[in-house]
Structure 1
Amino acid sequence: MIDISSNDTSLKSLRVREFYLGRQPILDRNQALFGYELLFRNAPVGPANISSDLSATASVIAHAAQLGMEKVIGDALGFVNVDADVIMSDIFSFLPREKVVLEVVETMKVSQPVLNRMAELVGLGFSFALDDVTLDTGHVQALLPLVEYIKMDMRDMPLSTLMKLAPRFKQDNKKLVAEKVETREEFKNCLDLGFDYFQGYYFAKPVIMSGKKLSPSQLAVMELMTLVTSEADNLAVERAIKKDVSLALNLLRLVNTPAVGVRQRIDSLSQAVTILGRRQLQRWLQIMLYAEPAKRGHSMTPLLMLATTRGRLLELLANKLRPSQRNVADVAFTVGIMSLMDTLFGIPMAEILTQIPVNDEVADALMFRGGFFGDLLKLAECIERIEELEDHIVPTLRDLAMSTDELVELEMAAFEWSDNVVRYAL
């Protein structure tokens, strides 16, 4: 076996640090969060960019695990890509077996030692997924007894093939994961075929419905946001919150999350308004807009998770890049969290901006991905869709004069913060 724990400080340390991390949500049949696929990419830094090399792959995974796997995945499962070399290595001491699914591609070269090692890891409590399955071959049959999940790519798979393969693998009690689900129609097709889990950003695509009206509670939050950003005094804000009992209770619960960082417990609305201040109050109201549909039985958890992660990542990036400008981080948070409101409301972004007053810089970022805040938003979207937009990450980082190492650190912090908020918001 290959031991990657030894200290080869020359090239390996560079490989370990120069990477970026994508996290793609995997949802269950109710569209609630089940897990994330973690996608590690070596940044192109000359000779150190050997993504197929064992020490690069394994070191990156080990580094992420040392940074804290729980920060990246929270209560969900983490699907991590491994190859035959990694399977035969000693990397697994870095990974929490109950939280990780090891994902192998269908084309991986299978040998008896690899099958024996996989069986050993299953015995130790690890789970395997078989990725990119397109045929029911002898190769697949050799791996089938050792895997719990079968992943199929919707982009490359004709519906006729899916209709043949899905029942076949269900018969063997395998859990089916549909990958690259990009439309609600694809989601429904996979649901009908008995798929258990769904990976893709179909839930973040706006479905615009003409004449759609906001729910009464969403309207109440929007009106309150307008009041908070105006010159109204604290008493008027407090009175407005009290008009909606559920709004008041939810707000109190949210402002007592660890993510707020307030030392004492906030027990009253007047305390909340006074201690938090207007900007912080506006932030929690924005989050509540995403949490509210979930309380009515609609699974908006992934959208809430995505919006809060985006908001926090943009805030941390802005703070890092422009530390002397006090309100720039607050504006960046607003851009991040508002960037999914067209999906949330089913209303075009242009129409939303007529209802929520924002300055020209924010409007430019949300409508056209323009300016400084637009660059931050583009970077967040590239990371979310790392498989398709990987080539855009490094140029954007270069424009922002930021290293991949700094980016991953901020990503981890954003993941952890978002996980904390969502836990309390629902």
Structure 2
Amino acid sequence: MFAFIARQPILDRDKDVFAYELLFRDGNNGTFPDIDSDKAKYIASQFHTLGLDDISGEKKSFISFNADTLISRFPTTLNPETVVVELDENPCLQKGLLDACQHIKQLGFKLAIDDPLMMSGQHEIFPLIDILKVDVTKARFDVIEKNIPRFLDSEIKLVAEQVENHSDFTTCRDLGFDFFQGYFFATPEARIQRQLPASKMNLVELMGESSSSHFDLARISQIVERDAALSFLLLKFINNPTINKRYQITSLKHALAYMGEVEIKKFIALLSLASLGDDKPLELIHMSLVRAKFYDLLAQERGLKNDPPIGFLIGLFSLLDALLDQSMPDVLKQLPLSEDVNTALLGKSAEFNHYHTLVRAFESALWLNVIKQSRALNIDQKQLHGLYNQAISWANGVRNTISSYFPRPVIKS
């Protein structure tokens, strides 16, 4: 069980999540932590911990190990069907590491190596490699193109790391990379369209209602009822066990009586965002969900008002620019959101700027920034980890619900 951890998505050629790379705060350079059983029990009892299934859901986990752990203390509890073992260092530099890698392969694990210099095919470990990770910021594309064929010929899968824009993603995909790590999918993609299509206006109106301090049931019902697909999705979604485990909801009025105004506002904002981004990678929606719950928990901890649920909404909408491929100012001109939400999304709220810096720190395993923001917000850093873990668990459940209603289109190579 783990309490202090970050994860970074690894996407396939269709921009679907293939795996998450896990980065451990207690391990050197993010490697699997070497924690004795007493400390592990203490962490599990004191903090909101996660297991690998909670962190990565149904996806694989890439976990980096240092040489000593691989040679003498490799954890026997890990599942070779779901965990990819990543080397933390060159196997030539550590006696016994090559033998350890051969043993790990015999156990059924896939082996990944991080090698920006495009390892020689004559290397002793070459036959053991299943996955090669290449930092595309440290190797020129012409060098990568020259070296790639021998890996493809050996059926070694290739992961492009540090892919931060859509242009690099396209280049790496054309070169033959199988997987892509980086936040290119969470940045706006240049497109000609600058206005939201008329078909999305119902969603825009719902987003506005979610940020209002008033709750107009008749108005919301009117918006939902004039869109048969949206009305169907609302009832199907709200009756999913992840959202509602106790009662069968038959109408928006019934939902209001059961959930209350604040939760309904969160729900219609969530449903609107998922519908608005139905042509985007699901991981982008997933990141928005984690942020929504994390900001909501932070806002509660800080004693902010919760009607409307401003923390939830700001976190949920924080990636609207990437979702709609427009700058945030251009997006907000088209949405009837409240002034408080707009101010925060434009980076003009000191309170929520702390939240944004903090969530980026968790997403990128920038632990020093977590410490700084802990002090700024006057919340214990270990408690912040617990809140973020809660957000991951909640978002995983909601993501599974969303994915069955919003299948993503296949992106052709």
Q: TM-score, normalised by structure 2?
A: 0.86
Cα deviation code 1:338-359 (max 9, x no counterpart) = 1101111123222333333444
In structure 2, what is the Cα distance between the partners aligned to 1:240 and 1:274? 19
**Partner residue in 1 for 2:268:** 285
Over 3 Å counting, the alpha-carbon distance change for 1:319 and 1:231 in structure 2 is closer
Assess if the C-alpha contact under 8 Å between 1:314 and 1:329 holds in 2: no
State the SS of the aligned residue for 2:81: coil
Confirm or deny that 1:32 pairs with 2:16: yes
Cα deviation code 1:162-219 (max 9, x no counterpart) = 1022221111001111000011010001111111110000011123546522234432
Q: Which residue of 254, 270, 276 corresponds with 2:253? A: 270
Q: Which residue of 131, 149, 154 corresponds with 1:172? A: 154
Structure 2: give runs of 5+ residues left out of the alignment: 404-413
Cα deviation code 1:348-404 (max 9, x no counterpart) = 222333333444443332212632122112100122123xx4442211111112233
More helix by share: 1
Assess if the C-alpha contact under 8 Å between 1:129 and 1:149 holds in 2: yes
Confirm or deny that 1:84 pairs with 2:47: no
In structure 2, what is the Cα distance between the partners aligned to 1:404 and 1:318? 15
Task: Identify the range of structure 1 (190-199 vs 367-376) with the bigger mean alpha-carbon deviation.
Answer: 367-376
Over 3 Å counting, the alpha-carbon distance change for 1:267 and 1:119 in structure 2 is farther
State the SS of the aligned residue for 1:283: helix
**Partner residue in 2 for 1:362:** 341
Over 3 Å counting, the alpha-carbon distance change for 1:25 and 1:53 in structure 2 is closer
State the SS of the aligned residue for 1:125: coil
Assess if the C-alpha contact under 8 Å between 2:242 and 2:401 holds in 1: no
Assess if the C-alpha contact under 8 Å between 2:10 and 2:181 holds in 1: yes
Aligned-pair distance for 1:292? Answer: 2.5
Cα deviation code 1:81-134 (max 9, x no counterpart) = 111111123342242332211111452445563222222222222221111341
State the SS of the aligned residue for 2:76: helix
**Partner residue in 1 for 2:411:** none
Aligned-pair distance for 1:36? Answer: 0.9
Q: Which residue of 141, 155, 177 corresponds with 1:159? A: 141
Assess if the C-alpha contact under 8 Å between 1:83 and 1:104 holds in 2: yes
Q: Which residue of 205, 211, 225 corresponds with 1:223? A: 205
**Partner residue in 1 for 2:282:** 301
In structure 2, what is the Cα distance between the partners aligned to 1:91 and 1:74? 23
Cα deviation code 1:293-341 (max 9, x no counterpart) = 665xx3420100110011111112222333xx45179211111111101
**Partner residue in 2 for 1:315:** 296
Q: TM-score, normalised by structure 1?
A: 0.83
Q: Look up the equivalent residue of 1:333 and give its one-letter code.
A: F
Aligned-pair distance for 1:413? Answer: 1.4
Assess if the C-alpha contact under 8 Å between 1:177 and 1:197 holds in 2: yes
State the SS of the aligned residue for 1:157: coil
Confirm or deny that 1:385 pairs with 2:364: yes
Over 3 Å counting, the alpha-carbon distance change for 1:276 and 1:216 in structure 2 is farther
**Partner residue in 2 for 1:414:** 391
**Partner residue in 1 for 2:409:** none
In structure 1, what is the Cα distance between the partners aligned to 2:17 and 2:255? 30
Over 3 Å counting, the alpha-carbon distance change for 1:316 and 1:91 in structure 2 is farther
Q: How many residues align?
A: 395
